[in-house]
A and B are shown apart, each in its own frame.
Chain A
């Protein structure tokens, strides 16, 4: 059952078009992540779902009810802001109770709900404190608690972890995932961090310049990115792109030229080979984690520029032809800068994109 639906949503600030027609729908209980570079409109889209921004055009419905022009408080959504936005003059308890008081719930129920949320988030000891006496992580918990107590139809998160340090961010990420599992609530989460998107999402919506680039599960986006933008955005370190030329197009196979390839060209099997003609330019995408050293079938010859020892693995920054290629390999192979590396490609892990950057699919 469709729980949250956006139909051709558009947003203009004056003459500037920020959201240029976004449609998608989410099921009840789904965790949807909007991801994209800054300025892509993901926060604006979230704020439109919350009702904090007017919708210029299109239709928005929550739980079967058209809320396009509904007031924020009547949409029964709650939001966790990047700055947490706690009321500075109220105690933690009052911060969490505020929405319930506004909804005129009986006092004993307010207390019960706040205590329950505090228990879930382990902030029972902080209830009497003012926000200024809390650390960033604690404020974050209070902000989430304030969302939970209202038992909203949809939880909205606007880059909630970006003000936390790296360790706390990982910890809160796990907690948000747990919370989602335990509450079974519908959540929409905005981030520019693809790791958060990959780990939290049931489905990811990749946005760029006010348009949806691709919608899919993390695995789908990783395995079948629909264009170079999504391919480059999902996965870390990001995918390597080689601008290559097709020198021969056979049935199901392409011969592709690039100076990084050993022997100048490689043969790639692709079901979309029939659509490509000889002489066309294509982009070959290779994920750093799919490149292997010490292989008996090397396909690429790269020159090492610099290596980074990450402890359990090593990241190599190399040049192939004139293009940078990153690879990440297990262990700590000791190779001096300037050396040539013969690198293999894990089977079936070559991504092909046409001259317009669209994925080559059958």
Chain B
């Protein structure tokens, strides 16, 4: 009698049990719980309590909104938030503009090899750790042997003390942030531009010779989802930006580069007032969420 069963092309469900998906997801979920959710909940709980690790005898008493009240009436907190806002509105428009220009240049036809090379190069700053960016920044803006001053010497403006002067230090951290994040903007915009169907771009080219009109009326709608994501990511990132600035300036000179995250770190780990620091961090989180919702409401619109 001939074999009637067909050779099994796929073995159905071998070893697949009800809990199989769970075990595949468990490591990621567990890690996320440990390093993401748990600290957030801990910070939320701590923000309602007095908790100073330098004074263990005071314990961990519940104080209600006391921490929040003291944070909101703390002039230094508002000042550091103001510095962060100034940093944000300095770097972000430049990153978006430069990113868009780079994306438009890379989107043009021709020079295939150079463009491929440029695209790869764009990933390098993104792959660099913040702390390393800070170290590079310290070298570039070093008063005596940094390339920034070498360059200024070449065009006849001598020895500027970048990290030693308030405006210089602020400019230096802004430049490093722009260096690190402009490529990200460029890549996001490039992806958006390549989403525009070729024939639609061509249809527009037949109707207008203005590159600006093409960008505004035809390409921009395709860029908006990417722009929204970019603004949200950058907002969250700037609000929590710490390592690069800490390595370069430690918030100084004076309070010139004292971003809110640096101030929170100081409150938490210099004064050891973790209750207040937690309240500040939670406020920052709320602010981030509000800004994100705002961007989504104003900008986000799917094409098609």
Which residue numbers of A lie inside 8 Å of B, CB to CB? 50-52, 71-74, 77-79, 81-83, 85-89, 98-99, 102, 132, 146, 150
CA–CA, A99 and B214, complex, Å: 11
Q: Which residue of B lies closest to A78 (CB)?
A: B206
Chain A residues with Cβ below 8 Å from B289 are none
Shortest beta-carbon distance, A49 to chain B, in Å? 11
Q: Which of B206, B207, B208, B303 has the most CB of A within 10 A?
A: B206
Complex contacts, B301 vs chain A, CB 8 Å: 89
A78, A82, A88, most chain B CB atoms within 10 A:
A88
Establish whether residues A73 and B207, one from each chain, have CB atoms under 8 Å apart when the complex forms: yes
Shortest CB distance B29–A (Å): 37
Q: A88-B304, A89-B221 are in contact. Are A73 and B199 (CB under 8 A)?
A: no
Kindly provide the distance from the CB of B211 to the nearest chain A CB, expressed in whole angstroms: 11
Given that A98-B217, A132-B304 are known contacts, is A85 also in contact with B202, CB under 8 Å in the complex? Answer: yes
For B197, give its contact among A73, A83, A89 (CB under 8 Å).
Answer: A83
- B210 contacts A102, C-beta separation under 8 Å: yes
10 contacts between A and B (CB under 8 A): A51-B206, A52-B206, A73-B209, A79-B203, A85-B202, A87-B217, A98-B204, A132-B304, A146-B203, A150-B207
Question: Which residues of chain B come closer than 8 Å to A78, judged between CB atoms?
Answer: 206-207
Interface string of B234-260 (1 = CB under 8 A from A): 000000000000000000000000000
Q: How many whole Å from A100's CB to the nearest CB in chain B?
A: 9
Given the interface pairs A87-B218, A102-B213, A132-B304, the reply to whether A52 lies near B208 with Cβ below 8 Å is no
Q: Are A52 and B205 CB-contacts (below 8 A) given A83-B199, A87-B218, A88-B304?
A: yes
Bound complex: CA A85 to CA B203 (Å): 7
Set of chain A residues within 8 Å of B207, measured between Cβ atoms: 73, 78, 98-99, 102, 150
A99 near B197: Cβ-Cβ < 8 Å: no
B residues with a Cβ closer than 8 A to A are: 197, 199-200, 202-210, 213, 217-218, 221, 301, 303-304
CA distance A150 to B217 in the complex (A): 18
A98 to B204, CA, bound (A): 9
Residue contact B203 to A71, C-beta cutoff 8 Å: no
Q: Which of B200, B208, B218 contacts A73, CB < 8 Å?
A: B208
Report Cα–Cα, A239/B301, bound state, in Å.
Answer: 55
CA–CA, A150 and B203, complex, Å: 13
Q: Which 4 pairs between the two chains have the least Cβ-Cβ distance?
A: A99-B207, A85-B199, A102-B208, A73-B209
Which residues of chain A are within 8 angstroms of B204 by Cβ–Cβ distance? 87, 98
Task: Identify the interface centre among B207, B209, B213: most chain A CB within 10 Å of its CB.
Answer: B207
Q: Which residues of A contact B203 (CB under 8 A)?
A: 79, 81, 85-87, 146
| Contact in complex: A71, B197 (CB < 8 Å) | no
**Assembly CA distance A71 to B210 (angstroms):** 10
Q: Given A102-B210, A132-B304, check contact A85 B200 (CB 8 Å).
A: yes
Q: A99 contacts B304, CB within 8 Å?
A: no
Which among B199, B209, B218 is the interface contact of A71 at CB below 8 angstroms? Answer: B209
In the complex, what residues of B have CB within 8 A of residue A77's CB? Answer: 206
Which chain B residue lies CB-closest to A95? Answer: B203
> Please, how many angstroms separate the alpha-carbon atoms of A73 and B209 in the complex?
5
**Bound state CA distance, A234 and B204, in angstroms?**
35
Rounded to whole angstroms, the CA-CA distance of A79 and B209 in the bound complex is: 15
State how many angstroms separate the Cβ of B210 from the closest Cβ of chain A: 7
Q: A81-B199, A85-B200, A98-B217 are in contact. Are A73 and B303 (CB under 8 A)?
A: no
Closest-CB distance, B303 to chain A (whole angstroms): 5
Contacts of B217 in A (CB 8 A): 87, 98
Contact A99 B205 (CB under 8 A): no
Question: For residue A71, which residue of chain B has the nearest CB?
Answer: B209
B26 vs chain A, min Cβ distance (A): 41
The answer for the CA separation of A77 and B209 in the assembled complex, in Å, is 13
Beyond A52-B205, A83-B197, A98-B217, is A88–B210 a contact (Cβ under 8 Å)? no
> Contacts of B303 on A, CB cut-off 8 Å?
88-89
Q: Nearest-CB distance from A51 to chain B (Å)?
A: 8
Q: Which residues of B contact A71 (CB under 8 A)?
A: 205, 209
How long is the Cα–Cα vector from A87 to B205 in the complex, in angstroms?
Answer: 12
**In whole Å, how far is B228's beta carbon from the nearest beta carbon of chain A?**
15
| C-alpha gap A102/B197 in the complex (Å) | 20
Distance between Cα atoms of A83 and B204 in the complex (Å): 14
Collect the chain A residues with CB atoms within 8 Å of residue B206's CB.
Answer: 50-52, 72-73, 77-79, 99
